[in-house]
Every structure is written in structure tokens, then in C-alpha cells.
Chains A and B, each alone.
Chain A
Amino acid sequence: MNINATLFINMIFFVGFVWFCMKFVWPFIIKAIKERQDKIAEGLAASERSQKDLELAQEKAAELLREAKQQSAEIVDSAKKRHAEIVDSAKGDARTEAEKIKNGAMAEIEQEVNRAREQLRSKVATLAVAGAEKVIERNIDAAANNDLFDKLVKEL
């Protein structure tokens, strides 16, 4: 173990190697490691984000589905209601129509009856006058007694 000038030469080597390492080796390797770490962290964050996005989308899809179901149920409901309404209104229309027809028929019948009664009445009047003429067989002024007949007819 004898110390000699080897020491100084090797010290120069030492300084040289450390300087080289500091200048050309260390920063680049550390940079590469750092960049890779950043990249991995980024990738992990992205995957987490997309996972969350997926969950959100699924939630949204479920909500849309629920809404669609509700809407379809509403549509079916309103259709049923409309159907009932249409049936009801058709029934009402039919009833009024029937009423109208019935009324018309009744009125016609009444008219017929009235006319028949009129005819009957006038025929009865003339029949009565003829009967009376024949019964009395007297010269009765028909014109003078017309007002009497009229009164009689009205009373019928």
C-alpha cells in the first residue's frame, strides 16, 4: 500500500468520468424515464376518464330508454282515451240522429193525422149538412147556415 502518482492520474480519470456522466448520460436517461412515466400516467388517466364516460353514457341510455317507455305508455293511454271519446261521440251522434229521425217521423205522422182529421172533418161537415138536408128536407139556405156549420166543425 504505497501511495504514489497513480493517485493523481486516477483522480483526473475520476473527474473526467463524472463530468461525462453528468453532461451526456444522466440527464438524457432521466428525461427518458420521466417522459415514460408521464406517458403512463396520462394513459391511466385517459382510461379512467373513458371508463367514467362509458358509465355516463350507459346512464344516459338507460334514462332515454325509461323516457321512451313512459312516452309510449302515454301515447297508448291517450289513444285509448281518444278511442273512448270517439266511441262516445259516435254514440251521441247516433242517438241525436235517431231522435231527429224519430221526431221527423212523428211530425209527419202528426201531419198525416191532422190532414186526415181535416179531411175527415170536412167530409163529416158535408156529410152532416147532406144528412141534415135530407133529414129536414126543407129549403134551408145553406149559405145562411154556413156559419153554424163552421162553428160546429171547430168544435170537433
Chain B
Amino acid sequence: MASSENPTSVEYIKHHLQNAQVCKTDEGWVWNHCQDAGFWTFNIDSLFFSFILGALFCFSFWRVAKNAKIENPGRWQSFVEMIVEFVDKSVKDTFHGRNPMIAPLALTIFVWIFLMNLMDLVPVDLLPWAASQAGADYLKVVPTTDANITFSLSLGVFVLIIFYSIKVKGFGGFIGELTLHPFSSKNKFVQVLLIPVNFLMESIGLLAKPVSLALRLFGNLYAGELIFILIAVLMSAGIGGIVGGGISYMIWAIFHILVITLQAFIFMMLTIVYLSMAHEDH
């Protein structure tokens, strides 16, 4: 359907799940031959869409912030203020400390992830086809179906969790939180014996936060994208396939509106909760 002539279903699916990559090999920087390149590979398409959408968010919201009218705000300003108030309320309900960074962070995460997820609703073949006309062999449109993107967000949050834990509780407090809970004893000797157990449990709990954040978003969007691709494959099966595929594509897209919003909201909410926990002193 898209680039090469008459691909099999497997080839078609694989093609759609392949990022456009740039990597450094022995022959210098190359495009799309990065199977063995290892770590220094860049998923250009993910980065491109991620940056464009983030910049779109920043620019459109910045224009509202700059021209904010107190009396009779325009439609776009009202919409932006609605989102901002929604995020502000979520933050105030959950986060009780004083930190001017949490709310903007939550807003950025929510809108940015929502926009990246929204790319999932662009018909799967549209942009890759346009790119292939322009000479690019591979293009993956939805940045959040790339684990690199979701992990970059969750690791950013993870760094903040550790930073604020140490800032609020001190380094000793942070270590104490990792080693003295959940099991503790009055007996000093038993306490010392319990430290490795506590440390194991708490550090797994701590590491699970960014991993679960990233994998939840990635898994949901990857699965959603895959179903769109499978429906697109179905459409190649004659007239019945086109009708059935068209209907199921529409149904899945409508359902997906809920999924992408929900996933963006969950990511934001959990970020707030984790950072709120990092600010709490036991």
C-alpha cells in the first residue's frame, strides 16, 4: 500500500512500525540501516513530531499568555484557560506543598502527550505515504508509540522525584526512606538485618514508578496504533474488507479519542502524585 509495490501483510506491518533512523556507523552517518548501530541511533521521525508538537503547545499557549484579556476573552483563550484551570485544580487537589514548578510541569505533560497521542488519529497511511513521495522510506507518526519518547518523559519525572526527595528530606532522609521502611524494629540488631530487605523493596518500588509510567503510555499507544495498522491491512481484502475496515477504523478511532485523553491524564496525574509523595516527609 505505502511504499514498495505489493507488500505482504507482514512486510506492511513491519514497515509501519519502523522508525526513520539516523545512526553513526563505520561509514559515517547513515539513514535507515541502523539494525547494528547500537545506542547512537536517533529516531528522527519521533524527535521531529515530538518537537513540532511540543513547540506547537508552547507557541499557542504563549500567545494566549501574552495577549490574555481579563474582560471578554476570546474562544481560544477560554479554551486554554479551561485546560489550565483543570490542570491547576488537579494539582491543588493532590499536591499540597509549595512548588511553582509542579503545575507548569503537569500542564506541559498533559498537553504535549495529548498532542503526541492525537497523531494516532491521523489515518495511518497518510503521512507515511506523503513522506514516501518526498523520498523518505520510513516514517512513524505517533511519537508516543516510540518507547524512547515515553521513557524520556518518565525518566525526566524520575530525576525530579529523586531531586525533590533529597531536597525536602535531605540526603539522609532519602536514604532512610529507602532503608528503614516498611519493616522496622526497636531492636537495633534486627533493624540492621532488615535494612537490605527494606532497601530491596523500596528501590524496586522507586524504580517501578518511571518504568510503569513509560510502559503504560507506550503499551496503550503502541497497541492502539497496531490495531489501526491491522484494520488498514483488512482494507486490502476486497470490497468487503474496505467497508468492514472503514467501519471498524471509525469505531476504533472514536474509542481511541477516549484512550489518548485518558493516557495523557493518567501520565499527568501520576506525575503529580509521585512528586507529591517525594515532597512528603514521614
Find out whether the CB atom of A7 lies under 8 angstroms from the CB atom of B155. Answer: yes
**Per-residue B-contact encoding for A4-27, CB less than 8 Å = 1, 0 else:** 111111110111111011101111
The residue of chain A having its C-beta at the shortest distance from the C-beta of B100 within the complex is: A22
For A156, what are the chain B residues with a Cβ–Cβ distance below 8 Å?
none
CA distance in complex: A24, B60 (Å): 12
Q: How far is the CB of B84 from chain A (nearest CB, A)?
A: 5
CA distance in complex: A15, B157 (Å): 10
Most buried by B among A4, A10, A17: A10
Q: How far is the CB of A39 from chain B (nearest CB, A)?
A: 7
A14 with B156, Cβ < 8 A, contacts A4-B43, A29-B65 known = yes
A30 with B88, Cβ < 8 A, contacts A10-B149, A14-B156 known = yes
Contact residues of B between 76 and 116, Cβ < 8 Å to A: 80-81, 84-85, 88, 100-101, 103-105, 107-108, 112
The contact size tier of chain A is: 20 to 34
For B84, what are the chain A residues with a Cβ–Cβ distance below 8 Å?
26, 29-30, 33
Does B41 belong to the interface (CB within 8 Å)?
yes
Most buried by B among A3, A6, A20: A6
The contact size tier of chain B is: 35 or more
CA distance in complex: A135, B29 (Å): 197
The residue of chain B having its C-beta at the shortest distance from the C-beta of A4 within the complex is: B41
For A14, what are the chain B residues with a Cβ–Cβ distance below 8 Å?
54, 108, 152-153, 156
CA distance in complex: A13, B116 (Å): 14
Find out whether the CB atom of A25 lies under 8 angstroms from the CB atom of B65. Answer: yes
Binding-face segment, B44-52, B120-128, B227-235, B259-267: B44-52
For B62, what are the chain A residues with a Cβ–Cβ distance below 8 Å?
20, 24-25
For B54, what are the chain A residues with a Cβ–Cβ distance below 8 Å?
13-14, 16-17
Find out whether the CB atom of A4 lies under 8 angstroms from the CB atom of B104. Answer: no
Find out whether the CB atom of B146 lies under 8 angstroms from the CB atom of A6. Answer: yes
Contact residues of B between 6 and 38, Cβ < 8 Å to A: 23, 38
Find out whether the CB atom of A22 lies under 8 angstroms from the CB atom of B105. Answer: yes
A17 with B147, Cβ < 8 A, contacts A30-B88, A32-B69 known = no
CA distance in complex: A35, B51 (Å): 33
A32 with B70, Cβ < 8 A, contacts A1-B147, A14-B152, A25-B65 known = yes
Does B58 belong to the interface (CB within 8 Å)?
yes
Does B138 belong to the interface (CB within 8 Å)?
no
The 3 closest A-B pairs by CB, nearest first: A32-B68, A28-B65, A6-B148
Interface, chain B (partner A; CB < 8 A): 23, 38-43, 46-47, 50-51, 54-55, 57-58, 61-62, 64-66, 68-71, 73, 80-81, 84-85, 88, 100-101, 103-105, 107-108, 112, 143, 146-149, 151-153, 155-156, 218
Interface, chain A (partner B; CB < 8 A): 1-11, 13-18, 20-22, 24-33, 35-36, 39
